[in-house]
Structures are given as C-alpha cells and as structure tokens.
C-alpha cells in the first residue's frame, strides 16, 4: 500500500520528504525548541518567578520604610541617630569599648 502511494512520485521528491522528516525529528529532540530545552526554560522560569517575588517583598519593605521616614518624625529621628550617627544639640555620646 505504501509502495503504491509513492509509486507515482519521482524519486527526488521522496528523498526530499525523507530529509525534511528527519530534520523535523532532529529539531524535536535536539533543536532550539526540543523537549530538554523546554524543561530548562521552565526551570529557569520558576527560578525567575521566585526571585521576582523576593524583589517584590523587598520593594514593599522599602516603600513602607520610606513612608515611615516621610511621615513619622520619630522614625526619622531614630534613623538619623542609628544609621547616620547624628545627635541633638547638647547631647553627649558615650562609647563603651569591649576588650
């Protein structure tokens, strides 16, 4: 039956069809969009998704800290004292060194 199907086709077209078929099979297993590449891309997507969620959380924390420093004077003063080492006028800093 298959022999009868290809009996009317020239030999060159049959060879061309076989080559195209082999090319597509190769692309499916080893090409740019092969099964292994798709698995790698899915794994990379998951990693990027997790990293993105971590960055979103960091951004939320920074936004809340910025809002706190913008509208809360006590928080701003605490930040200036702790992070920048500033003191009020007339205050004395006592540093204790541990040996």
Half-sphere exposure (CA, 13 Å, Cβ side) for 77? 5
Q: Cα separation of 29 and 49, whole Å?
A: 27
In the predicted structure, residue 6 carries a pLDDT above the cut 70: no
Cβ pair 34, 27 in contact under 8 A = yes
Q: How confident is the model at residue 80 (pLDDT cuts 50, 70, 90)?
A: confident
pLDDT at 22: 94
pLDDT at 59: 98
pLDDT at 58: 98
Q: Is the full-model pTM beyond 0.75? A: no
Tell me the mean pLDDT in the region 12-21: 88
């Amino acid at each position: 039956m298959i022999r009868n199907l290809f009996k009317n086709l020239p030999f060159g077209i049959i060879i061309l069809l076989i080559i195209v078929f082999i090319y597509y099979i190769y692309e499916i297993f080893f090409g740019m969009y092969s099964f292994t590449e798709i698995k790698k891309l899915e794994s990379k997507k998951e990693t990027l998704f997790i990293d993105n969620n971590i960055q979103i959380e960091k951004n939320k924390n920074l936004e809340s800290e910025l809002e706190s420093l913008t509208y809360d004077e006590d928080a701003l003063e605490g930040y200036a004292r702790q992070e920048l080492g500033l003191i009020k006028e007339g205050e004395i800093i006592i540093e204790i060194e541990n040996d």
